[in-house]
Amino acid sequence: MEKLEMIYEGKAKKVFKTDNEKQYIVEYKDDATAFNGIKKGTIVGKGVVNNKMSAALFALLEEEGIPTHQIELLSDRESLVKAVKILPLEVIVRNVAAGSLAKRLGLEEGVEMKKTVLEFSYKNDELGDPMINDYHIQAMEYATDEQLDTVKSYALKVNEVLKKFFLEINIKLIDFKLEFGLYEDKVILADEISPDTCRLWDADTNKKLDKDRFRRDLGGVEEVYQEVLERISKKK
Ligand code: C5P
């Protein structure tokens, strides 16, 4: 598998073409940003954790019937993935109030949602990924109605599978962000699932095991990324 030109460089990943037009190579970086790029830093080893954790969770989700872009882990920092066209949506799933939801609704972090909350943002750095609803998605044609229905049902299924999986390693899945893409005209799960994109709290102590430690200067950032990967690896 030959790595050809880079077609995208984001905050946490680079994407390369390969000699197969239907496959990309994703390379995970240690660079960390928060608050739409205002805070910048490095989390040593993050790229390796996020690559391996995403590969493990995508494999689990595939077993549970959710199609994902993951093909195989190529190295510590690289994965071979299906060449999807990303839908311009960030799909946020919330089980417990935290972060921007806690702020927006004036809730204390940790309040359980009576029902899973799904939110959408328009993926656009310049605009700061503004929150949108179904009407905006339809009006702007960010996805067809059929694609949007599929996105919603996959997102809720991902939540059920991951909530159960994380609880088995004594972690509460507070909230997370997903991205979906089109591959051969079908919606599949893409991007990553990692401590960068999930809020993960230790089920006994509520210790934050995710990027909030970087965002909020809580210290021990590298250690918790490694810890989450270790708990996952021990279970698999
Ligand atoms: O900041 P907020 O509370 O809206 O984030 C909800 C969830 O989505 C968190 O788990 C956060 O890590 C994730 N997220 C993300 N990328 C973004 C925005 C949020 O991974 N651009």
Give me the tens of pLDDT residue by residue for the chain, a chain 236 residues long: 899 999 999 999 999 999 999 999 999 999 999 999 999 999 999 999 999 999 999 999 999 999 999 999 999 999 999 999 999 999 999 999 999 999 999 999 999 999 999 999 999 999 999 999 999 999 999 999 999 999 999 999 999 999 999 999 999 999 999 999 999 999 999 999 999 999 999 999 999 999 999 999 999 999 999 999 999 999 97
Distance from Cα 198 to the centre of ligand 1, integer Å: 7
Q: Which residues pair with 204 in a beta bridge?
A: none
Cβ atoms 6, 15 nearer than 8 A: yes
| Bridge pairing between strands 13-18 and 23-28 | antiparallel
The ipTM value here is 0.99
Q: CA-CA distance, 1 to 24, in Å (whole number)?
A: 10
Main-chain phi, psi angles of 160, to 5 degrees:
-60, -45
Distance from Cα 2 to the centre of ligand 1, integer Å: 33
H-helix or E-strand containing 137?
Answer: helix 134-140
Q: Which residues line ligand 1 (CB under 6 A)?
A: 90, 92, 98-101, 129, 175-177, 197-199, 211
Query: Which domains does the chain carry?
Result: 3-82 (3.30.200.20), 85-219 (3.30.470.20)
Query: Does the pTM of the predicted model rise above 0.90?
Result: yes
Distance from Cα 94 to the centre of ligand 1, integer Å: 10
Burial (0-12, 13-18, 19+ Cβ within 10 Å), 107 = middle
Chain centroid to CA 87: 14
Concatenated DSSP letters of 31-89: EEEETTTTEEEE-TTHHHHHHHHHHHHHHHHHHTT--BSEEEE-SSSEEEEE--EE-SE
Spell 55-83 as b/e; 16+ CB within 10 A means b: bbbbebbeeeebbbbbbebbeebbbbbbb
